[in-house]
Amino acid sequence: MNYGMILAGGVGQRMRSSGLPKQFLNVFGKPIIIYTLEKFETCIDIDSIIIVCNSSWIDHMKAQADRYGLKKVAAIICGGKDRQNSILNGLKYIKENGGKEEDIIVIHDGVRPLVQ
């Protein structure tokens, strides 16, 4: 199994966007994170997507994933206090939910939509 772990836990303090995290800012009518997720959704090498998100924004992220019909999103989980702990939470989730030693996990930042 090949997993795409998308980190979307930032709160965008430097963006000064009235409290809306930068991953949810609209660019050409869609939240930035959706562009990123769509790349992983259409990638034939990715079987499942795990989104690691700030706990306050999990419901919003679920609504966005549903709105844009992202079928590969297997889970949206709570991030940690920093990037390292968010990755650890994602790895633990995968392991606890059937992940195997031979699985591949690609870790990517939710606000970097220009990935190939």
Nearest to 111 by CA among 89, 83, 88: 83
pLDDT digits (tens, 9 = 90+) for 83-112: 999 999 999 999 999 999 999 999 999 998
pTM of the model: 0.91
The CA distance from 112 to 114, in Å, is: 6
Q: Mean of the pLDDT values across residues 64-82?
A: 96
